[in-house]
Amino acid sequence: MSAIVPKVSGSFLSSIKAAAQTTTIDVWADFLKLQISANTKRTYASALDDFFTRLTGSAANPQQIQEFLLLTQFEAVGVVLKYKGLLLDLGLAPSTINTRLSAIKSLANHARKLGQCGFSLEDVTHVHVEKYRDTSGVGVEAYRAILQSLDRASVKGKRDYAILRLLWDNALRRGELVATNVGDLREGKLWIIGKGKTQQQSIDLAPRTLAALEEWLVVREGAANEPIFIALDGRSYGKRLSGRSIARVVDWVAADAGVTKHLSPHRIRHSSITTFLDASGGDVRTAQRLSRHSRLDTLMIYDDNRQGLQGKASGVLADLV
């Protein structure tokens, strides 16, 4: 017995088609909405502004976006390759260039899915990046000195101590740190959104880390949906600390402690991972759980650098001749 197919009225189809239509402005707005984090939104918006400013003299706007999306395949690839060449001539870091190219390619891909763009930018390749070439950081004694230099009787000292504890004890990325809210600390665990993830995952906190965080939250007095770490001075008082703010905190605290080597949140992360590998005799599997790297071979770079394997190999070869 054949299935009965209901008739669909013309007005219903017209309504559906009308709802599915997307203007250029909607493409831009929807594209930014789809980005996972607020930081990615800001980064991609800045990248698109840079793209249009360097090529047209003005920041991204709906008219320019529409004109770009209406280019032919060869025109679009040519324009983006020209932009890539400009960035290379400026001597920008490969990671910076690739981020900007990713923003443009992602916008075009999103617009193409919506029927607002007829070209693909797959032929525009990224600049090769040597990842984690320098996995060195600050030593245990230096980091202990940094922690001891903080005035933990002050509100700012309590905040900064909790920040520095989490960065070291849990090898957190600064983006993971700034995104946390007061309600994300539950039953001795901190719930974070890892890099490239959309759902929270829990991380265990060591007793000292938990105590530092709880001590800060007593004076923080924030609601569950408010950020854990906030600014404590100026016009930004009470607002969520940004990644740049966390970097400034680390820089200032290190300078106050007399640490001359440049220190950043990411260098602390490198230090934590390398120090754990030293302390554990190269337990790469456990280090992977600590760092939350999806690929084990990334951890092997840390371990190889820690052991100085290249130097050892060169020494053996040199002695042979």
- The Cα–Cα gap between 1 and 31 comes to 46
Which pLDDT belongs to residue 16? Answer: 41
Cα 114 from chain centre: 27
Note the maximum CA span of the chain: 87
Dihedral sign for Cα atoms in the order 238, 245, 178, 41: positive
Quick one: pLDDT band at residue 259, thresholds 50, 70, 90? Answer: confident
- The Cα–Cα gap between 84 and 88 comes to 6
Cα 223 from chain centre: 25
pLDDT digits (tens, 9 = 90+) for 304-315: 666 665 556 556
Q: Which tokens go with 37?
A: 């984090």
CB 189 within 8 A of CB 202: yes
Contacts of 51 (CB under 8 A, 6+ apart): 60, 83, 100, 103, 104
- Write down the residue that tokens 């929270």 correspond to: 200
Predicted model pTM: 0.60
Q: Comparing 281 with 130, which gets the higher pLDDT? A: 281
The C-alpha torsion from 91 through 93 and 97 to 102, rounded to 10°, is 180
- The Cα–Cα gap between 35 and 27 comes to 13
Average pLDDT over residues 239-243: 92
Average pLDDT over residues 42-53: 89
Question: pLDDT over 70 for what percent of the chain?
Answer: 80
140-312: CATH class: mainly alpha
Which pLDDT belongs to residue 127? Answer: 86
Nearest Cα to Cα of residue 267 among 145, 158, 168: 168
Which pLDDT belongs to residue 165? Answer: 94
pLDDT digits (tens, 9 = 90+) for 76-118: 999 999 999 999 998 888 888 999 999 999 889 988 888 889 9
Helices and strands: H and E segment counts in the chain: 15, 3
DSSP annotation string for 154-212: SHHHHHHHHHHHHHHHS---HHHHHT-BGGGEETTEEEE--TT-SS-EEEE--HHHHHH
- The Cα–Cα gap between 246 and 166 comes to 12
Average pLDDT over residues 269-281: 85
Query: Which amino acid does the sequence have at 129?
Result: V
Contacts of 262 (CB under 8 A, 6+ apart): 251
Which pLDDT belongs to residue 316? Answer: 60
Q: Comparing 185 with 63, which gets the higher pLDDT? A: 185
- Write down the residue that tokens 């599915």 correspond to: 20
Contacts of 277 (CB under 8 A, 6+ apart): 283, 284, 287, 302, 303, 306
* pLDDT surpassing 60 at residue 4: no
Q: Comparing 22 with 177, which gets the higher pLDDT? A: 177
pLDDT digits (tens, 9 = 90+) for 127-172: 876 554 555 668 889 999 999 999 999 999 999 999 999 999 999 9
Catalytic positions, written as ranges: 173, 197, 266, 269, 293, 302
For residue 227, give the DSSP letter. B
CB atoms within 10 A of CB 38: 13
* pLDDT surpassing 60 at residue 320: yes
pLDDT digits (tens, 9 = 90+) for 191-212: 998 877 778 888 899 999 999 9
Residue limits of CATH 1.10.443.10 in the chain: 140-312
Query: Which amino acid does the sequence have at 321?
Result: V
